[in-house]
Structure 1
Amino acid sequence: MAQVVKDYNPSIQRTTQLQYFKPIEPHLFSGDGMPYYHNGTFYLYWLLDEGHHAGLDGLGGHQWALSTTTDLVHWKHHPVALGIDNEAWEKSICTGSVIADKGLFYAFYATRVKDANGVHEQLSYAISNDGGYTYEKQSPNPFYLAPEECISRDFRDPKVFKGSDSLFHLFVSGNLKEPAIGGFGGYLVHLVSADLKNWKEVDSPLRGQQGTPECADYFKWNDWYYLLYSIAGHTHYVMSKAPYGPWIYPKSQSLIAHFECVYKTARFKNGRRIAVAYSPYRAGDKDDGDRIWGGTILFREVYQEPDGTLSTKFLPEVLPASSPMTIPAIKTPSPSVVAIRDGQLNIAAAGEMGVAEMDELPDNYRISMRIEPDGNYEELGLFLRATDEHESGYRLALNPNHETVRMHNTSIDAVKGLNEPIFLDVIVYGDFFDVCVNNKRTVVNRLPEQKGKNLFFYVKNGNATIRDVKIEKITNH
Structure 2
Amino acid sequence: MNLIHRPSPATSTGDAIPFYHAGIYHIFSLTPPSGTTVYPARLRTIWSHMVSTDLVHWEEVLPSLYPSDNPQDPDASGIWTGSVLYGEGKYHAFYTGYSLSCTYQQTICHATSEDSIRWTKDSKNPVIIPLVEQYEDLDWRDPYVFFNDEDGMYWILISARKKTGAINRRGVIILYRSKDLKTWTYYGPLYEPGNTNCPECPEMYKMGKVWYLSYSRFSEFVNTLYRVSDSPFGPWRTPRQDGIGGRRFYAAKSMQNDQGRRFYFGWAHDRAGNSDTGEWYWGGVFGVPHEVIQNTEGELDVKLPEEIEGQMVDPIAWKYKPVEGISRLITPKIISISSISTTTYGFFNIQDSGFIFKCTITPHEARDSFGLLLKSDNEASSCLVLSFETAMQRVSLLNLPMSVDPFWQQSCQAIPEPKDPGPDGFRVCEKPFPIYDNCGITVKVIVDNDLIELFIGDKIAFSYRSYAQAEHQLGLIVQDGNAEYKDIEILK
Q: List structure 1 runs of 4+ shifted beyond 6 angstroms.
A: none
- The change in CA–CA distance for 1:84 and 1:278 in structure 2 (over 3 A counts) is same
C-alpha displacement of 1:327 = 4.2
**Which structure 1 segments of 5+ residues have no match?**
1-15
Look up the match of 1:100. Answer: 86
| Percent identity (aligned) | 24
Q: What are the Cα deviations for residues 36-86 of structure 1, in whole angstroms up to 9, with x where unaligned?
A: 111212221111112576588436111111111222233221111122232
CA distance in 2, matches of 1:135, 1:203: 30
Q: By how many angstroms is 1:256 displaced?
A: 4.3
Q: Residues 357 and 101 from structure 1, CA distance in 2 versus in 1: closer, same or farther, beyond 3 angstroms? A: closer
CA offset digits 1:119-152 (Å, max 9, x no partner) = 621111111122x212111132112210122111
The reply to whether residue 273 of structure 1 matches residue 256 of structure 2 is no
Asked if residue 449 in structure 1 is aligned to residue 468 in structure 2, the reply is: yes
**Aligned-pair CA distance for 1:417:** 2.4
Matches within 5 A, 1:424-443: 424-443=443-462
Number of aligned residue pairs: 452
Alignment-derived partner of residue 432 in structure 2: 415
Asked if residue 406 in structure 1 is aligned to residue 397 in structure 2, the reply is yes
Q: For residue 360 of structure 1, report the CA deviation from its aligned partner.
A: 4.2
80-89 or 29-38, which moves further after superposition?
A: 80-89
Structure 2 unaligned residues grouped into runs of 5+: 400-425
Amino acid at match of 2:266: A
Q: Aligned partner of 1:418: which letter?
A: I
Return the letter of the residue paired with 2:456: V
Q: Which residue is 1:178 aligned to?
A: 164
Take 1:370 and 1:234, find their aligned partners in 2: how far apart are those partners?
Answer: 27
Contact 1:98 1:107 in 2 (8 A): yes
Write the distance in 2 (CA, Å) between the matches of 1:288 and 1:320.
34
For 1:102 and 1:198, how far apart are their aligned partners in 2? 13
Matched ranges for 1:156-195 at <5 A: 156-163=141-148, 164-179=150-165, 181-195=166-180
1:365 to 349, 355, 361: 355
> 280-289 vs 356-365, which deviates more?
356-365
Question: For residues 110 and 38 of structure 2, what CA distance do their matches in structure 1 show?
Answer: 22
Range with greater deviation from structure 2 (381-390 or 269-278): 381-390
CA contact (8 A) 2:453 2:462 kept: yes
Equivalent position of 1:4 in the other structure: none
Cα distance change of structure 1 residues 394 and 412 upon mapping to structure 2, 3 Å threshold: closer
SS class of match (1:22): coil
Match of 1:152, SS state, is strand
Q: Which residue of 2 aligns with 1:261?
A: 250
Match of 2:321 in 1: 331
Moved more, 78-87 or 230-239: 78-87
The equivalent residue for 1:199 is: 184
SS in 1 for 2:130: coil
**Normalised TM-score (structure 1):** 0.88
2:228 match: 239
When residues 52 and 87 of structure 1 are mapped into structure 2, their CA distance, relative to the original with a 3 A threshold, is farther
Q: Distance in 2 between matches of 1:133 and 1:52?
A: 26
Partner SS for 1:114:
coil
Contact persistence 1:52–1:294 (CA under 8 A):
no
Equivalence for 1:10: none
Task: Give matches, 1:54-93, under 5 Å.
Answer: 57-58=40-41, 60-89=43-72, 90-93=76-79
Distance 1:334 1:226, change over 3 A: closer
Distance 1:316 1:297 in 2: 18
Aligned equivalent of 1:210: 196
Work out the CA distance in 2 between the residues paired with 1:413 and 1:175.
Answer: 28
Kindly provide the CA deviation profile for residues 140-174 of structure 1, in whole angstroms up to 9, marking residues without a partner as x.
Answer: 21122101221111000011011122111111010
User: Partner letter of residue 291 of structure 2?
Assistant: E
Picking from 471, 478, 481, the partner of 1:459 is: 478
